[in-house]
Structure 1
Amino acid sequence: MRKTTNAHPPCHRSSAIRGNQRLLARTICAALTMSLLATAAVHAQDAVASVDSADSPEKAKDLEGITVTGSRIRRVDVETANPVITIDRAQIAATGKVTLGDLVQDLPSVAGNATNASTNNGGGTGAATISLRGLGDRRTLLLVNGVRLAYNDVNSIPANMIDRIEVLSDGASAVYGSDAIGGVVNFILRDRFDGVQFSTDFGESAHSDGFRRNFSLTAGHTGEKGSIVAGVSHHTIDEVSAANRDFSRDALNLSSGEVIYSGSSATPSGSITLPSAQAAALGCGSRVSLNSGVSGRTGTSDYHCYSKADSYNYQRDNILQTPQERTNLFALGKYKLTPDIEAYANVYYTKTKSDSLLAPVPIFANGDNYLVSADNYYNPFGVNFGTDRGTGQSYNDFNTRLATLGKRRYSFTTDNTQINPGIRGSFGDSSWRWDADINYGKLKQRSVNYGFLDYAKFQQAVGPSYRDAGTGVVTCGTPGNPIANCTPINLFNLNDPATIKALKGIQVNPVTTTNYTVKQFEANANGDLFDLPAGTVNLAAGLSYRKESTSTTTDPLAVADLDGLCGVVEFCTTVLSGSFNVKEAYAEALIPLLTDKPFIHSLNLTVGSRFSDYSSAGSSTNSKVSLEWRPIENLLLRGTVSQVFRAPNIKELYSGIGGDSPTVNDPCNFYTGGHSAACANVPTDGSYQQANPQIGAKTSGAIAAGYQLKPEQGKSFDFGVVYDPQWINGLSLSADVWRINLNDTITSISAQTVLNQCYANASSPFCGFIHRFDTGAINYVAEPTVNLGSLSTKGVDSNITYRFDESRFGRFNVSLNNTYVARYDINPNPADPSSVTIHNAGKYTYAYGDFPRWRSLATLNWKSGPWSASWRMRYIGRTQIGSADERQQLSADTDQAAVVRKIGAYTYHSVQAGYNFERWHTRVDLGVDNIADKQPPLFYQNNVTNSNTDVATYDVMGRYYWARATVTF
């Protein structure tokens, strides 16, 4: 597959050679400032040369025995049975990326629904996650120096502390335990540095928005007995409004083969469902909306028949890029206590402030369980709307939006601390090495949620009210039972100044705080056991104990009951706390079988096994077998078969009941009968059509749902070849065929899956998760976390790298990295013969994300003296939305079944160039990402959540200029 040697870099990232005038001016100013600082230290050691040189004695000593991600055994070989891709510091610098999430998410092996800064609806914390093989971030294990990352956000790791990144795209539960089903991303820290390095970075899109600035300072010293490296970085990016791009400024839907402007039925002018007789009297089918320009109390003549043209364009209120401010601090140190024992400690802290901005609060009288009384003074129709929370009786629909209160804003402050002290050493002059460490991680995330309403006061304000005959004042309650300290709200005309004042008077901003802690002890040892004719048998073994705990607190008003209801309109959460612990032991052995035989230059076998005992999910033993065969010295054939598993994580266990607004296609649209379980209360005359593709849903963890989760279990297969032909110096070729089968998958069931499976089978256990009103419209769909179904995926990775010999034109390196997905199948209930398998390969689905057959990353790098440049091409193959197989209930169209929309292939080009001013110890880099300013394809809002497109796969910023200046002294 891909090589791990720096001589043949497999994965480069790059950006561009131009910037606008303002950006260039800032960069030159920063560079001159740092150059003046550097002039005072012209005799200082060049830290980059001393640290990064591959010829340094310390690095040469390391190559006598190193550990490559995917195995605990120290090896001289960097090409082993494990398909590992390595991204070194030079490659990271060439990308111009200031967050590691942006860097890693572009790898071809990453697919599906990963969170990034463009995920506003469903994101907004500033976090970025990694989804290797499209299996989700919960099945991708993140490590720092081989130790679990406490907070699953790669943006929390400052880029200036990274020496290299190793990506293992193979199941590794036998080596690392739970979560390593899709693979492992291991961030190796810089533990050797002499001098001081300061870097500043600026960037801005060609649309004059999305401005970013980054400052980092790294300092270190290496002595005879130890070293210390410390640093700080500060990173800020501005928000980008969805209104600033043509593709995202309007809520677009594909309906009956036509693209229509169709947003939410929760519109400030109201989407009001009337009894059939009243609607007919107004010449309408069922729903009406307020005319524009009406003031004060309304009458029935102030309304017109509701149409899709009345829907609310929420897209212009949303954002394409999450605004965030991040500060990172880190310190890494080691010290030799004796010639054979070394103490070390890694400490880092990240503080992130970010905002998620959404359209003003939507109000669904039935979905939010409040009752607009027929006796409300401002009600011109004289009928009840919504649901009586006390009796559960539902009436007519009343949808509106509190636009006069402004946008919803979720303001997050995340503090993440991780401390990893330990000691390591050797047993005298033997080959055995040992280490023992403690890993402590603490996460505190506080969110302040703006723009919501006190439910009890709101219910009083829209309940019965009257005009007092004596005072002429409109009063809550009835003449015989007035309600004190309550101002009636004219929900039928939100532009009324008195209504705006009353709404602001009952506005609340609930605060939620989540704490998470991980405490871990781990001890490992590895070394030689005994000699065989073909070589020495190596053994690695260890044990660990880990405890994870979490707790959530919130304002009393926002605490949800068992039905997900609380004292705040449209914002509820559950107060829960819990913990679990796991005890583990593992052993791994490398056994040389043959060497220097005909057609066998070497033949090695690796076996390993890990026992895990979870207090929350029981015990599990998982093993692996790997074989490495070199018929000749430069040809490696390799294969690994391993058992994989994943225990439920802390969120899956202890997440409370929360709200969700998924986009679905109701399979009961135009229903004519035959699926009563899925389509309860839906008229059978074919007239039903969902009013809004976004529906209400309630998510929850297993504990809140009363469900006992068990681990996922499965197998992972990888078979590959690596060839470095002697007859073409500098060329390296690799290919790996991989396959992963997984059972009892732990998942939060998507609303679409619930609807589809119940529609296909009336006895499906999902049917109980569907809740409809008396009219047949969806009230909400429950999305609990359970063990459900099977997952099977397979594909091929390939890599070509070539390092040209140096010439008078400089040195060139080229690489091409590819991933082909042949299968990605999900069966929600394999035990049910009628359960429908969802085929995701080559498709986008809301529940699982985008799986184009092909993804590629190609780079061309050049260096000559102080100059360097790179050209990077990221390829995303063709995909499609919808399936022609009606059983899968996947359609790209809201009103027609089995509609397929094809999306063409995309290629993004980025370039970068830099110059090293050696006299001033300063380097300047300029770059442009997405040179062609290519805009993402339209997926339409009926298929996605954010911005009419798939923000996890495609670039939404457009052409982006960046510049960086770095001085070392």
Structure 2
Amino acid sequence: MFKLSKINRSVLLYTSATLFTSTGFSAISAEDETDIERIEVTGSHIKRTDMEGPSPLTSLSADDIAKSGVTDLISLFTKLPIAGQGTFSTQANSSDDTANGGSSVSLRGLGADSTLILVNGRRVSVSPFAKGIDTAFVDINNIPLAAIKRVDILKDGASATYGSDAIAGVINIILRDDIEGVEISAKIGDTADGGGEEENVSLVWGNSTETTSHTFVLDYFRRGEILYADRDYSESANQAAQRPNDEFATDFRSSSGIPGTIALASDPTVRLPDTFGNDHCPAEDIDTANNLCRYDYAPHMSMVPQTERFSYNYMGKYEINDNLEFFTELNGQNAKTMIRGAGSPSFNELFMSGDNANHPMADDPTHPFYMQDLTMRRRMVDIGNRKKEVDTDYYRVITGLRGEFGEWNWEAAYSYIKSESVEMGVDGYPNSQRVQEAIDSELWNPFEPSSNSAEALAYIETNTTRVGKSTNKTIDAKISGPVFEMPAGDLMIGVGAEYREESISDNPDDQFLRGNVFGTEATQANGSRDNTAIFAELAIPVLDSLEVQLAVRHEDYSDFGTTTDPKVSFLWAPLDNLSLRGSYGTAFRAPSLHQLGLGRTDESPNLVDTVRCDAVGNINKACEPQEYTAVFEGNPDLGPEESTSYNLGVVYNVTDNLSFSVDYYSYEIEDIIDSDTQFVFSNFGADPDVVERLPSTLPGDPGEVVQIFDSFQNIGDLDTSGLDFDLRWNLDTGMGQFKLSYVLNYVLEYEDKRPDGNGGQRIDTEAGDFEQPEFRWTAGVDWISGNGNIGANAAINYIDEFEQDASVQAPGISSLDSFVTVDAAVNYYGFENTVFTLGATNLFNEEPPFAYHDFMGFAVNVHSGQGQFAYLRASYKF
């Protein structure tokens, strides 16, 4: 049998146990080494005789993942203490989201685009639809849990090994390739408060012979939607009414209501709620202080969208001869996501002439609005609430050869990855051109919704389409082996090269390009690049107890130039049970194709009009966060983000059953690529080339905002440092075996530095600020009975308190409380080849801490609104 495809079984068990129970150094005797073949470890291209290297690496096995109770990878990653701000799931997908259905993780809070995601050590294509219009990310929803053997998390910068995006670290998802027989598993679950029911069925089978190995995985997953209306703390956007005893709670209802607010086209600040004619603004929605008809959009919006995924995976190997093997990987998925939103809002985009027969004051010559041209704030509820459907197909094909000659190993492969998405607005989307035509022709009356005919509604409603495609084509080759023998062992070298072509296209239909669809968002971006890289590594056994690893990678990009990144790391074991490790390296993140090639794209951020607030006070809540239209375009002159990282750690195996590790990390990142629309708004809000406003007759009033123009820049620097602590303790008792664990991330420093407008810098975000908790930890216990028939596990997940959003911080407003949840499960193994599991995540149904910054009342990027989720799972092997 081909040597590279087999490893001594006892060694496999040993290394797997080491990965789960400790991140520490493990010594293997010279006697054992004779039976151990070299294997590739995440973080290095040099094959090693053990899984422990100089860089901090945490691995989660398929069994660890199953015990967590999660149904997809993002649910697992959001529980990791190392995950930070920028991690996102399908929670809070809305009709305005630009990456509906996608999920990704942000290590250290440095952004999903600074965390490199690999599958079996190779890159995959990014989603064609960027998150937040510019964040390129790998959609980890493409990978079903049933296909995963383990997940490796490398917790230091690794651009010297893997290239761009590995600033914060690397997540390497290793797929199953060793199945003998058939495994069937099924899981059902539901939430305590409604919505979010789940179904998951998987079929895994495989076999191997002397020369071949095949593993197949089929997986089906469905999750029902959760609406904000399903949770009592988010069922209304009027948080002031939800929390009547809280003087700081805000009414977030929209100023675009139904039938709406009527205003003078010449001066929209002169306005009245629509209380005329037969259709009236409901009394409870009239804002007399601001002369507005408000609308409660929260009940109609998705908190978590409905999702359905079908995935297939194949891993195959064929031994051509004793020294040569062919391998292939085939992965694919179809995913369908449905997102709901409230009816489309308009904010003074529509007009009615003074002589229109539908003019609300046509019969009242005494009214100040009589024969006046009008504009309006209006919610298009009469054509239905918005509904968006996203259909995504993902394909990944790898073919390659690997072999050996003497003590050298080599591998070469070609990979092709493609992701295609079609996003369709199927209900509730108006075409503004046809709406205006219908007003002008008197076919449609915006002020009397009940009087409009089905013909009129059909005329003004449209379906929208957005098509995206992302591809990645790569040829790579590498070779590693011993150069010569040193007193402490072989000096190992690894060298390789990679050529990669990437492209993205994200194109909405002509309606978006003409600006004819309001009340929604879509991006437009097109770009391509090629990249050539060469890399090398040295593993130097300086002493029996000291290994030094050197790595360097040179990259040449077609669109912004070259970069060279080195890394130096060491692992020193002065005692059999004590080791020290450390690393220093540089890393980079190339500007994403979305950031370089974004076409005109409208966003709807919540901002404060500080210029108008300072001039005339809180007119139309100018001093409070409100939704504005920001127009973005890509910046082809962007340079890469560059970083320097340090890591220093100690691993101590106190006894055979008790070990812990402590690692200090530090990142210094320069030239962060981002936008800061609030900064632009506040500092250039009076510049008509930056902020377009409507005219106003009020003295000193700069006028209501129409749109703000912004783009991406290499805008600032970011420094962060902290501690990772990992404790593992195994106990054998008369009641069975216990495995205890405690994993902590403590952020010592987090400083996001931005321009202050005066040539200096300000700290935009620091540790403890909004969505930046200083502490995150998980404590777990895993028990198996003496006879092995029953097992149980539980975990406590802790997220530290943090400040409210800067826009709502004021004396008397408290921080968001810490969030503690408990996950638990019981497993029964009493039937041969069968496992039954009954469990729950967020067992005690804890509600997320209250946040004042937005309508849903909690921090959706950090805390979960799912609540208690109970599940039953069964699996059978034969």
- Give the distance between the partners of 1:328 and 1:188, measured in 2 at CA: 16
Matched-pair contact (CA < 8 Å) for 1:527–1:538: yes
For 2:555, which of 607, 612, 615 is the aligned residue? Answer: 612
Unmatched runs of 5 consecutive residues or more in structure 1: 13-58, 280-284, 384-393, 464-475, 477-486, 561-565, 596-601, 673-682, 845-849, 883-889
Residue 288 of structure 1 corresponds to which residue in structure 2?
Answer: 272
Do residues 507 (structure 1) and 461 (structure 2) align? yes
- Give the distance between the partners of 1:497 and 1:179, measured in 2 at CA: 53
- Give the distance between the partners of 2:604 and 2:664, measured in 1 at CA: 38
For 1:489, which of 444, 453, 462 is the aligned residue? Answer: 444
RMSD: 3.0
Residue 216 of structure 1 corresponds to which residue in structure 2?
Answer: 202
User: By how many angstroms is 1:261 displaced?
Assistant: 3.4
Partner SS for 1:316: helix
Partner SS for 2:783: strand
Give the alignment of 1:68-107 within 5 angstroms: 68-107=41-80
For 1:914, which of 810, 827, 832 is the aligned residue? Answer: 827
- Give the distance between the partners of 1:755 and 1:100, measured in 2 at CA: 38
- Give the distance between the partners of 1:604 and 1:582, measured in 2 at CA: 32
Do residues 533 (structure 1) and 487 (structure 2) align? yes
Larger strand share, 1 or 2: 2
Partner SS for 2:104: coil
Give the alignment of 1:482-631 within 5 angstroms: 487-498=442-453, 501-560=455-514, 566-571=515-520, 573=522, 576-595=525-544, 602-631=545-574
User: By how many angstroms is 1:458 displaced?
Assistant: 1.7
TM-score (norm 2): 0.88
- Give the distance between the partners of 1:76 and 1:587, measured in 2 at CA: 19
Do residues 200 (structure 1) and 186 (structure 2) align? yes
Partner SS for 2:807: coil
Matched-pair contact (CA < 8 Å) for 1:109–1:133: yes
Do residues 237 (structure 1) and 223 (structure 2) align? yes
- Give the distance between the partners of 1:756 and 1:73, measured in 2 at CA: 52
Would the alpha carbon gap of residues 10 and 774 (structure 1) be closer, same or farther in structure 2, given more than 3 Å must change? farther
Do residues 148 (structure 1) and 140 (structure 2) align? no
User: By how many angstroms is 1:120 displaced?
Assistant: 1.4
Would the alpha carbon gap of residues 375 and 60 (structure 1) be closer, same or farther in structure 2, given more than 3 Å must change? farther
Do residues 714 (structure 1) and 630 (structure 2) align? no
Partner SS for 2:678: helix
Aligned AA (1:731): L
Partner SS for 1:456: helix
**Structure with the larger RCO, 1 or 2 (CA within 8 Å, 6+ apart):** 1
Residue 576 of structure 2 corresponds to which residue in structure 1?
Answer: 633
For 2:808, which of 878, 892, 896 is the aligned residue? Answer: 892
Residue 696 of structure 1 corresponds to which residue in structure 2?
Answer: 628
- Give the distance between the partners of 2:456 and 2:35, measured in 1 at CA: 70
- Give the distance between the partners of 1:785 and 1:354, measured in 2 at CA: 29
Residue 146 of structure 2 corresponds to which residue in structure 1?
Answer: 160
Aligned AA (1:327): F
For 2:608, which of 665, 672, 680 is the aligned residue? Answer: 665
Partner SS for 1:668: helix
Residue 423 of structure 1 corresponds to which residue in structure 2?
Answer: 401
Residue 134 of structure 2 corresponds to which residue in structure 1?
Answer: none
Give the alignment of 1:760-799 within 5 angstroms: 769-775=690-696, 776-799=703-726
- Give the distance between the partners of 2:311 and 2:633, measured in 1 at CA: 31
Residue 743 of structure 2 corresponds to which residue in structure 1?
Answer: 817
Would the alpha carbon gap of residues 782 and 618 (structure 1) be closer, same or farther in structure 2, given more than 3 Å must change? same
Residue 466 of structure 1 corresponds to which residue in structure 2?
Answer: none
Aligned AA (2:538): A
Would the alpha carbon gap of residues 568 and 542 (structure 1) be closer, same or farther in structure 2, given more than 3 Å must change? same
Do residues 462 (structure 1) and 389 (structure 2) align? no
Give the alignment of 1:224-373 within 5 angstroms: 224-252=210-238, 257-274=247-264, 286-291=270-275, 294-295=277-278, 305=288, 307=290, 310-365=293-348, 368=349, 370-373=350-353
Would the alpha carbon gap of residues 691 and 852 (structure 1) be closer, same or farther in structure 2, given more than 3 Å must change? closer
- Give the distance between the partners of 2:679 and 2:142, measured in 1 at CA: 33
Would the alpha carbon gap of residues 587 and 581 (structure 1) be closer, same or farther in structure 2, given more than 3 Å must change? same
Partner SS for 1:538: strand
For 1:407, which of 385, 391, 401 is the aligned residue? Answer: 385
Aligned AA (1:490): N
- Give the distance between the partners of 1:555 and 1:782, measured in 2 at CA: 22
- Give the distance between the partners of 1:711 and 1:183, measured in 2 at CA: 17
Instruction: String of CA shifts for 1:869-893, please: whole Å, max 9, x gaps.
Output: 10111100111114xxxxxxx2315
User: By how many angstroms is 1:73 displaced?
Assistant: 1.9
User: By how many angstroms is 1:621 displaced?
Assistant: 0.5
Instruction: String of CA shifts for 1:156-211, please: whole Å, max 9, x gaps.
Output: 10111111000112111111000011111000111111001111100001124311
Would the alpha carbon gap of residues 641 and 954 (structure 1) be closer, same or farther in structure 2, given more than 3 Å must change? same
Partner SS for 2:564: strand
- Give the distance between the partners of 1:265 and 1:700, measured in 2 at CA: 24
- Give the distance between the partners of 1:193 and 1:736, measured in 2 at CA: 36
Give the alignment of 1:39-50 within 5 angstroms: none
- Give the distance between the partners of 2:287 and 2:313, measured in 1 at CA: 62
- Give the distance between the partners of 2:270 and 2:336, measured in 1 at CA: 45
Do residues 929 (structure 1) and 841 (structure 2) align? yes
Would the alpha carbon gap of residues 556 and 833 (structure 1) be closer, same or farther in structure 2, given more than 3 Å must change? closer
Matched-pair contact (CA < 8 Å) for 2:521–2:603: no
Would the alpha carbon gap of residues 417 and 898 (structure 1) be closer, same or farther in structure 2, given more than 3 Å must change? farther
Partner SS for 1:793: strand
Do residues 829 (structure 1) and 719 (structure 2) align? no
Aligned AA (2:381): A
Aligned AA (1:724): N
453-462 or 333-342: bigger deviation:
453-462
Matched-pair contact (CA < 8 Å) for 2:491–2:541: yes
- Give the distance between the partners of 2:98 and 2:618, measured in 1 at CA: 37
Do residues 752 (structure 1) and 725 (structure 2) align? no
185-194 or 572-581: bigger deviation:
572-581
Unmatched runs of 5 consecutive residues or more in structure 2: 1-13, 24-31, 127-137, 364-371, 697-702
Aligned AA (1:133): R
Would the alpha carbon gap of residues 525 and 219 (structure 1) be closer, same or farther in structure 2, given more than 3 Å must change? same
Residue 881 of structure 1 corresponds to which residue in structure 2?
Answer: 804
Give aligned pairs, total. 821
Residue 839 of structure 1 corresponds to which residue in structure 2?
Answer: 765
Partner SS for 1:79: coil
For 1:125, which of 96, 100, 106 is the aligned residue? Answer: 100
- Give the distance between the partners of 2:457 and 2:767, measured in 1 at CA: 48
Partner SS for 1:754: helix
Instruction: String of CA shifts for 1:652-680, please: whole Å, max 9, x gaps.
Output: 223322222212233336414xxxxxxxx
Matched-pair contact (CA < 8 Å) for 2:258–2:293: no
User: By how many angstroms is 1:303 displaced?
Assistant: 9.6
Instruction: String of CA shifts for 1:609-638, please: whole Å, max 9, x gaps.
Output: 100000011110011111222221221111
Would the alpha carbon gap of residues 123 and 326 (structure 1) be closer, same or farther in structure 2, given more than 3 Å must change? farther
Matched-pair contact (CA < 8 Å) for 1:522–1:545: yes
User: By how many angstroms is 1:827 displaced?
Assistant: 1.9
Aligned AA (2:557): Y
For 1:855, which of 771, 776, 780 is the aligned residue? Answer: 776
User: By how many angstroms is 1:454 displaced?
Assistant: 2.4
